[in-house]
Structure 1
Amino acid sequence: MKNIKLKKQFIFASPRLLLTLIGLLVSSFLWGQVPEGVNYQAIARDANGNIIPNQSISLRMSILENSINGNLVYEESHFVSTDDLGQFSIQIGQGTASQGVFANVNWGASSKFLQVEMDVNGGSNFSLMGSNELVSVPYALFAKTANFADSSANPGPAGPQGQTGAVGPQGQTGAVGPQGQTGAAGPQGQTGAVGPQGQTGAVGPQGQTGAVGPQGQTGAVGPQGLTGAAGPQGQTGAAGPQGQTGAAGPQGQTGAVGPQGPVGPLVAGSTNQTLRHNGTSWVADSTLLNTSQGVAINLSNSLPGNSALLDVSADDKGILIPRMNTSQRDNISNPANGLIVYNTDDDCINYFTTTWKNICGSDSAVQIGVGGNSNPGSVGSGRVFLAAKSLVEGHHYSRSFNCILMENGELKCMGYDGDYVHGAGTSNFEKYTPQTIGVCDSVKSFVTAYANIWMLTEKGDVFATGYNGHGQLGNGSTGSIYTVAKVNNLTDVSKIAGSGGVDHANCACALKSDSTLSCWGYNGYGQMGNGTNNNSLNPTSITTLSEVLDMQLAGGNYASGCAWLADSTMWCWGYNGYGQLGNGNNSNQSSPVQVQGLTGPFVKVVSAANRSYHTRCVLKEDGTVWCWGSDEFGQLGNGTPNQNRNTPVQVLGINNAVDIVAAGGRYGSFYAVLSDSTVRSWGYNGRGQLGNGTTIHQPAPINPGLSGVKKMAGGGSSTYHTFCALKTDGTVMCNGYNGYGQIGNGNTTNATTPTQVLGIWKAKDIAITGNTYGAFSMVILEDGRVKTWGYNGNGNLGTGNTNHYYVPTFIRNLND
């Protein structure tokens, strides 16, 4: 047969679907039968240009006269399925006709237009794809209705054979025929070498400013301003007149010399005793011995010890050494090793051995990390973790508490104590200095969430404090527990995680040494992962997961969890409104589902989550970062803001990351620390959180210009979050929100570029966390002391008061 192909190619589009017309042909069979159809072949694509493979669809094809709004001449419907390439074929004229007869269409009478409609679900809810004129009339169809000359007359005699004419010019090449079916796929070729990294595309134009939202509630009254400087000294008043000097009296006569008094008695004493005055007379009752072996000071006439240069003995007095603050101590010129002073800033004796150290460090802080789902690295031989979460009551009035884990296994907390979160048996709401949580065993790690603390002991048991309305204490009940409660049926636990929010809808999970997971608490969205939506008052196993290497739990009331396995797969469960489970849809899942298109090995998972908004990012061992979920401000880092994704996308331009951090909840900002100790940042930037000198959100990573970075930390909620970098030289640089002194530079002006924190030179670890009012930070210095600064409305800085601190200050009574 021969095919006559229309030369024009049509593309039909709708908001939901694209149709690319591959071929429109009329077939004429060898034996001359007039065709009754037009072959139509197209590819179905979605609005992003992606093909729609292997899906049943329905089409309605209409022939219109003279214009796209002309009379309907013919209409029919087809029900077809796309192939692996999204391709389908039909024959117009052979469908189910609903208007007219295809064979009666007069193709030569007027121009004809083809209108295409589609229902992607294969029903009859058709959407218009487009209409186009058929500018080349199918020959066979035209011939059927064309007029021919009358041939009824008798033919005349045949004329002589004419000479053969010259060969005519080569005709034009005919139109390309329809695409043949795709052949079977060949064997998979070897993976080619990775091409060079392309340049980062230019940042797109700034979108229009959205409409102004409703007036927010009036914020809390800010801190009292500093007392103004004293006014100038007033002028000294005029001196009064000098009085006259009186006349001198006459000189008196010199009196007679008195008689010589008797010689007084000598003071009795013993050898080596020294004299002292007791307020009435001189007595000899103390001993100062200066011998060849040393000096002794005592009341017993004892010789100095053989190894002592100075031997002081007493049973009712002590030695008072020089007392000074840290600044005065540091101003001592060329201190000798072994020099001792008493430091009034940290209430402790300091001694000098190359650097100043304190002797109160048997329980000093030697490692730091944020409570929750962090994985701090090991520093030194001991450990200390910092943790604090927002406690939100009516009208979003935020309250905070903070905890530190000491190297001897004590957990000390300070700040807000509502819901008995400190486990002290009373709920007195605020503790301004560190208080020990009463766990009988040594605590190994801990996590917090809203009004709960979960603690993992060195023995592998788990204890909890705080609110229990949904069974989050894991002790089999929902009753209030005013002290520390042991979580039931858990042993050999290696890691714990927790999540919660303003409605007390908290939950927790534990990873056991046998690589299985168990969870307990609130389960409204399937965050237990056990196939139900029922709260769990005791730990219940996620039976579908085994060989679990690590886990993460985040999202507040709308929590979701993820676990990565030994086979390099990742599985997630729970709330999924923004695609934070990464499985290709937005449906909540009460059992684990595999994250699509992502394979490990994995290093770390972080989240920026607040209520239902949730962006999740993962760092892989190959140094790349992948994100999915909410993308309102470019949090996914793939260059296309405000396009939520329910499967992972790769963050642009990062292939050598060694760590990632996140902060900000719905307004998430992210940092990656690279192998060369520089950083990259992306996402929300309304208060300078990305450190590039602007407040423009960034959908792709930018370089804020930091180098020599050892660790990044971020904290705070909503738009009120701050990031800090601990550098290899022991200094700290911060940027972002600074409403309560979170930058640590002595003022409250937001910092859009990294700014050095005052008074920190020898930090070895850092952590930041925060609440609705913003972050507060803590660093551990090389000598084991802890400094803190920022928001302190609930006494959460442990300074003994509720004053906000714009520069770092020491925590009080940490070692009591």
Structure 2
Amino acid sequence: MTFLAVLTHRLPSMQFAPPRKVAAQLAVACAMLAGAVSAHAATVVKFATGASNSAAILSDGTLWTWGNNKNGQLGNGTSVSAQKPVQVGTGFTQVMVGSRYMVALKADGGLWMWGHAVLKDREFYETAPVQIASGFAKLLSADTAAKADGSVWFWGDAKGIYSAPPGGTGPLDALPAGYQQMATGPYNALFVLDGGALRYVSNNNLLNIWRTAFGSTGPAGSDFTQVALNVSTAAGVKKDGTLWQWKGEEQPASLGAGYSQVAKGSAHTLALKTDGSVWAWGSNANGQLGTEATADADSPQLVGNGYTQIAAASQHTLALKSDGTLVAWGSNSAGQLGTGVAGTSSQKAAAVVFDATYSPQPGTVTATGPIGRQTVTAKVQIASGHLDNGVKGNAFVVAITADGGIYAYNGGAFVSANAFSMPAAWTGSLQNTSTALFTDQDLTGVAGTAFFVGYGLGPTTSESLAEMLASKRYQLGYVVR
């Protein structure tokens, strides 16, 4: 049976519920599709982003995280991802995002970490923040921090690029004296030395063979205050505000003056000027330039004005506006934009949604294969506390078509739901479940259909559906293109 036929299929006998109650539930389901949220105003003071997740600190000191949580890197005590920010702590002053972990600094100098990272004395894996060190004054990156005495220490991703001399105790390694910063890429690292000179090292964690940053013997260049790099290119801002970019060991090229910060994704670059304007160039495959255009750019293009901070990672970008609003654009494959609609991309700035009522989401709906031959798979992940306590409930997979039709999966087919029928439960009890909803199907006839997955608590299907909607324990997993 084709997907379109399944969506239009009705069971011979319908389960009925009080029309007024069901109608109210379906109205909320429609609001899910419309993207209605109960957001509150939030002023962001610090933020960071990584390959597929992000974090921010608000003016009240609360720490919020969102995006991919496969390795517990959101710090919410689970491995359930979040498409909008979730509060995970308070009292933090800085936060940085690594590939599979996050780190944050508190006012007392305590260094906290969560997720999966490699430390000097052990392999670290925690799903909630744990203090690993103290005495730090500033986070420099996701894998480096400086103490008040000027010493710089590193961990995590940086350990795959550069090996510190043996000796010492504790969870962190120290960089040699005179090293102010360390920016790491997938296979390389760029160091800022005293005086702003640069040094470069690539994938030499066994030999630690130093290479120049570009073009000549010994450390080259000086007066750099901030640098960024990816697998093939590097960029840096000097004290005089000039921006420089180079590839490998080529001589750097000047991109002009008036800059204060530069950031790099996998194949795109973002730069902030002192006048608050943001400029972007490079790949634009997922709208990560934020120019509302679809083409790549070889030279800096104006994104907008009124910004104070920027961050870029992989195929997306985050930026902070002067009024404290955090915006994001580019790929949102794992919810890393924090805009509430995971799985989609945005070519223009969208506000990150800080929703105090939002909780981590319970599952995913994914599709593999070309649009003409796709397999759609749903997965629900029940919180351990609900499973352990034997709470009654039901899991739901809901498809909402472009014209507003609502269909619920009953374990074998999608059943039409309306004001006189109760949307079918996917499972008869709370259990972690994965199901291939459709295998090798042509979805072109149902373009615009959105799939939601979630679960609710309650002894009956009606009560568990109502509880799921009220608690917002559902998420948009996939939209047919």
TM-score by length of 1: 0.32
Task: Between the two structures, name the one with larger relative contact order (CA 8 Å, sep ≥ 6).
Answer: 2
Structure of higher CA gyration radius: 1
More helix by share: 2
TM-score by length of 2: 0.50
More strand by share: 2
